[in-house]
Amino acid sequence: MGILEKISEIEKEIARTQKNKATEYHLGLLKAKLAKYRAQLLEPSKSASSKGEGFDVMKSGDARVALIGFPSVGKSTFLSLMTSTASEAASYEFTTLTCIPGVIEYKGANIQLLDLPGIIEGAAQGKGRGRQVIAVARTADVVIMMLDATKGEVQRSLLEKELESVGIRLNKHKPNIYFKPKKGGGISFNSTVTLTQCSEKLVQLILHEYKIFNAEVLFREDCSPDEFIDVIVGNRVYMPCLYVYNKIDQISMEEVDRLARKPNSVVISCGMKLNLDYLLEMLWEYLALTCIYTKKRGQRPDFTDAIILRKGASVEHVCHRIHRSLASQFKYALVWVSLWAGDGRGACPASPLHRAGAGHSCCSAWCPSSRGVPAGPHCLSHFGIQGWPDHWGHPPE
């Protein structure tokens, strides 16, 4: 039996096994087996590596964002709109066949945006260019999962499943489990919290499946067996993901409202340039970047020249960015925190959007001020608005 068949056998068995106390160990074991086969599947075969051609785009700028989605959801249209790079867009599927990089300039940062071929169900197993696309996704700082607002929710769960199956964990944090394989001494198991999903016995069974008989395990969080397996397997990528529903010009305002309220989601129309500036703000937040400006005594900082670092960066990081030898001779720093730069939301004078005075006249977030009140056209910010769907009524002033 091939690996694909083994995987599908196990998946079927998991599906038909009722989840209860009596089957807990059996299910745990099945999941461990499944993770093992999937890992085998992803081991680069010699023939597959040669197919990576054209996808080896150099990382550049302050951060990298990958566009993942089914064919014809508007990924290339989006790249052409947000960057100075043109990527061919057309109404037929698989217009884009390779990875096309562009640069978004925002708040003084250069964000590399990667347009990629559409992926389909089975991508992780090598259908279409799925494997290469997913390999690129793993190198990104944030994934934008672009979805067609006119199509059903199933596209979202299918894509999530594809990414899950290759070890990409979306909007999840690394499980707080300490795990250290040892040379001897058996398995020592401890937890600092009450566990409701895993037990010592289950942990042992799973470890044995991986032929690990000596290890130290400490649960600091009430994790599931899947999360524990992730820790053993190791090479998981924990990545922020923004779900972007495009083509909202084609759906009703009620539907737009429903989609916009989903977690980690933004609604846009590339065709009519709706809500793109809000998307940029969200992207900035998900990238967790921060602008740092240096200033001379008695002078204002130069807001057009930022040092871009990840949030949480220290003064030492800043020193290293300025010059390699600075940190070792460093004495002290005066640090100001500016409110508009601090939360990444306010009007940043360095933002090309704000400087150009584009849009942003109405509330940019999805109606944070009108909880419970149905959303309307006033909730959408514009990015040089290019039309307005008639079926939404009057556009905002």
Binding interface with ligand GTP (CB under 6 A):
69, 71-77, 89-91, 93-96, 117-118, 246-247, 249-250, 269-271
* Pairwise CA distance, residues 65 & 144, whole Å: 7
Query: Which is it for the CA torsion 21, 22, 28, 31, positive or negative?
Result: negative
- Smallest gap from Cβ 41 to ligand GTP, in A, equals 24
Label residue 362 exposed, middle or buried (CB < 10 Å: 0-12, 13-18, 19+). Answer: middle
* Interaction of residue 77 with Mg ion, rule CB under 5 A: no
* Interaction of residue 85 with K ion, rule CB under 5 A: no
Query: Is 72 or 83 the residue whose CB approaches ligand GTP more closely?
Result: 72
Site for K ion in 50-79 (CB under 5 A): 72
Would you tell me how many other CB atoms lie within 10 Å of the CB of residue 99? Answer: 20
* Interaction of residue 246 with K ion, rule CB under 5 A: no
Site for Mg ion in 91-130 (CB under 5 A): 95-96
Show the beta-strand stretches assigned E in 247-292. 265-267, 289-292
Asked if 67 contacts 79 with a C-beta cutoff of 8 angstroms, the reply is yes
- Smallest gap from Cβ 362 to ligand GTP, in A, equals 19
Number of residues that bind Mg ion (CB under 5 A): 4
Query: Is 130 or 344 the residue whose CB approaches ligand GTP more closely?
Result: 130
- Smallest gap from Cβ 68 to ligand GTP, in A, equals 10
Q: Tell me which residue of 351, 372, 369, 370 sits closest to 360, measured CA to CA.
A: 351
**Residue with the CB atom nearest ligand GTP in the bound state:** 118
* Interaction of residue 83 with Mg ion, rule CB under 5 A: no
Q: What string of DSSP letters covers 326-381?
A: TGGG---------HHHHSS-S--TT-HHHHTT-S-SS--SSSGGGTTSPP-GGG--
- Which of 76, 290, 364, 381 forms a contact with Mg ion (CB under 5 A)? 76
Query: Is 191 or 269 the residue whose CB approaches ligand GTP more closely?
Result: 269
**Residue 246 interacting entry, from ligand GTP, Mg ion, K ion, none, C-beta within 5 to 8 Å by type:** ligand GTP
* Pairwise CA distance, residues 145 & 149, whole Å: 12
* Interaction of residue 351 with Mg ion, rule CB under 5 A: no
Query: Is 76 or 275 the residue whose CB approaches Mg ion more closely?
Result: 76
| Identity at 18, one-letter amino acid code | Q
Q: How many residues does the chain have?
A: 397
Q: Which residues form the interface with Mg ion (CB under 5 A)?
A: 75-76, 95-96
* Residues near K ion, by CB under 5 A: 72, 95
